[in-house]
Structure 1
Amino acid sequence: MTTEKIGRGRTSDVYTYGEDRAIKLYPPSEDRAGIEQEAKAATLVHQLGVPSVRCDGLTEVEGLLGIIFERIEGPSFNEVAEKDLRKFGQVCRDLADCHAQMHAAHTTELPDIRDLAIGMLEAAPLDQLSDDERTALTAHLKSLPEGDSVLHLDYHPQNVFHHRDGWAIIDWHSACRGPAAADVAMSALLMSEVELFPGTPPLKLLLYQIVRGLMRRLYLARYFATTELTRGEVDAWMTCARVLRLGLLNIESERGRLLRRVQTAVKVMAA
């Protein structure tokens, strides 16, 4: 039933599947429990009314485990902005509005973001932390406020699509729960400190960085203007966001920079 590749991520390939479905297929090296958790989270958030597509569960194709989804026909927010720069401002506003709509959904069925981050402190990218640094970070993460909003942790314009008469957020592999500020902090990090497209020529990379910085400012301005969230609440989660980014993906080109900022934050905590 798979006929045409229509997308590719860091850990999966996406194909058409039947007339109106798509399937994410994972290599054998991917952890089955993680794939099952993504399917469970995708099903849950759709039931909660989060802008998303229906998940039809797991299947195997030629020995590969996959997740079946309703197929998205519209473009990603990133594609809209690249195709017509006149729509850039609206894309940033829609990005914030869709994110706020997601955070309006509440659940206790997803992992707590604080527990997820504490677990990451034992991951390989953070093995350079001293025992004292790890202890300080654990205490910091435990002190952060509890929440039950649906969080994505990889929310950026390539993961949000126009779909039918609304929007659809994809890739729920890192879904969890917590305060909205935590997810906004992660998105702010994705728009400022993480790796852009590998192998991009330097001049083009500079342009992307400038555009990404403008998107971050417009997205945050809209989110703050339309919700009760404050910049201070978001800033309080930035160290957690860096820990999660390191633990979840471990991208070599990001590792040193993010780790240094985590360690700097620990020194500030101790001062």
Structure 2
Amino acid sequence: MNKELWSKIGDGGTAEIYLDESGRVVKWFREGFSEAAAASEYRKSEWAYAAGLPTAKALGLTNLEGRQVLLLERLEGESLLQRLQREPETAEEAARKFAAYHVQLNKREAAALEDDQRSRLVQRIGWADRLGESERRQVLEALELLPDGQQFCHGDFHPGNIMENGEDWQVIDWIDANCGHPLYDAARTLLLLGFGTEEGGARGRMEEAAAVFRSAYLQTYSEQSGFGRDEIERWMLPAAAVRLVEPIPESEKDKLAQYVRSRLL
């Protein structure tokens, strides 16, 4: 691999994304991203592809300059986010397809994924140092009242992780995929749509279309999944607390912490 021949195509919280000289996607994880975490994403990517999910094939995992590197086949097209930024008037139509697509993904059984949602949430809520000990305890108590599940959850389902090639959609970025209750996935998506900022990058730049997209997504997901909006809403508290431990802008964390505290009153 010759890094001098790579061309940069993306930049996220955990990795820089390039195309290499062979046309492969190179996900070059940031310093400090552990070998175990990179191996977990590679395993999940392999699982998704083998399960027949619409995604890129994982081609390998290696190390370069002390950083983990995940190699993936290239998917043609652009992200749904890019399309929305260019054509914000398509937000409602896109949101309804996006929600229907999400419902179908969430119907898949995922016990073989071996990443338990409940354990993941409990651990990350415990790490949320923006919250006090009493606040973290209250969030965990609220989580205990929510049901378990065995369905597939992408864990980071937003328009930037959908690749469009004509009518075909494919999903990328499997680092947070887990097995659990689908309404956590829906609640997290609503947070990603509703708390982005310009400082936070791509999700913030769809602000013009975000309100209509979020509303149409929630309505369609509820209708097609059979879950009421109030059931989805119950998952927003733990989803917001978990988001606090992620590499996101401080301004977004401020809004999330305020939201969590408003729910605990």
TM-score over 0.5 for the alignment?
yes
* Displacement of 1:143: 2.2
Q: 1:123 aligns with which of 121, 127, 140?
A: 127
Equivalent residue for 1:11?
Answer: 14
The answer to whether structure 1 residue 252 and structure 2 residue 255 are counterparts is no
Q: 1:169 aligns with which of 171, 191, 195?
A: 171
Q: How does 1:60-79 map to 2 (within 5 A)?
A: 60-79=63-82
* Inter-partner Cα distance in structure 2 for 1:17 and 1:6: 10
Contact residue 52 and residue 170 of structure 1 kept, 8 A:
yes
* Inter-partner Cα distance in structure 2 for 1:44 and 1:163: 22
Q: 1:184 aligns with which of 178, 183, 186?
A: 186
- Normalising by the residue count of structure 1, what TM-score does the alignment of the two structures yield? 0.86
Coordinate RMSD, CA, aligned: 2.3
Contact residue 76 and residue 160 of structure 1 kept, 8 A:
yes
* Cα gap change, 1:18 to 1:103, in 2 (>3 Å): farther
Contact residue 85 and residue 206 of structure 2 kept, 8 A:
no
- Normalising by the residue count of structure 2, what TM-score does the alignment of the two structures yield? 0.87
State the AA in 2 paired with 1:73.
E
Q: 2:212 aligns with which of 207, 211, 214?
A: 214
Contact residue 29 and residue 68 of structure 2 kept, 8 A:
yes
Q: 1:82 aligns with which of 82, 85, 90?
A: 85
* Cα gap change, 1:143 to 1:86, in 2 (>3 Å): closer
Equivalent residue for 2:102?
Answer: 99
Q: How does 1:26-37 map to 2 (within 5 A)?
A: 26-37=29-40
* Displacement of 1:22: 0.8
* 1:5 partner SS: strand
The answer to whether structure 1 residue 195 and structure 2 residue 181 are counterparts is no
* 2:159 partner SS: coil
* Displacement of 1:199: 8.2
* Inter-partner Cα distance in structure 1 for 2:253 and 2:90: 34
Q: Deviations over 1:88-146 (max 9, x none)?
A: 333212211221222122112332222212112331533x413x333332222122111
Runs of 4 or more above 4 Å deviation = none
* Cα gap change, 1:123 to 1:59, in 2 (>3 Å): same
State the AA in 2 paired with 1:253.
S
Equivalent residue for 1:242?
Answer: 240
Unaligned ranges ≥5, structure 2: none
* 2:246 partner SS: helix
Q: Percent identity?
A: 26
More displaced, 37-46 or 76-85? 76-85
* 2:142 partner SS: helix
* Displacement of 1:228: 1.4
Contact residue 200 and residue 248 of structure 2 kept, 8 A:
no
* Displacement of 1:222: 2.0
* Inter-partner Cα distance in structure 1 for 2:50 and 2:147: 26
The answer to whether structure 1 residue 43 and structure 2 residue 46 are counterparts is yes
* Inter-partner Cα distance in structure 2 for 1:90 and 1:166: 15
* 1:249 partner SS: coil
* Displacement of 1:247: 2.1
Unaligned ranges ≥5, structure 1: none
* Cα gap change, 1:138 to 1:82, in 2 (>3 Å): closer
* Displacement of 1:197: 2.3
* Inter-partner Cα distance in structure 2 for 1:122 and 1:139: 12
Q: Deviations over 1:215-253 (max 9, x none)?
A: 101112222232312212101100011011112335311
Contact residue 184 and residue 234 of structure 1 kept, 8 A:
yes
Equivalent residue for 2:223?
Answer: 225
* Displacement of 1:62: 4.2
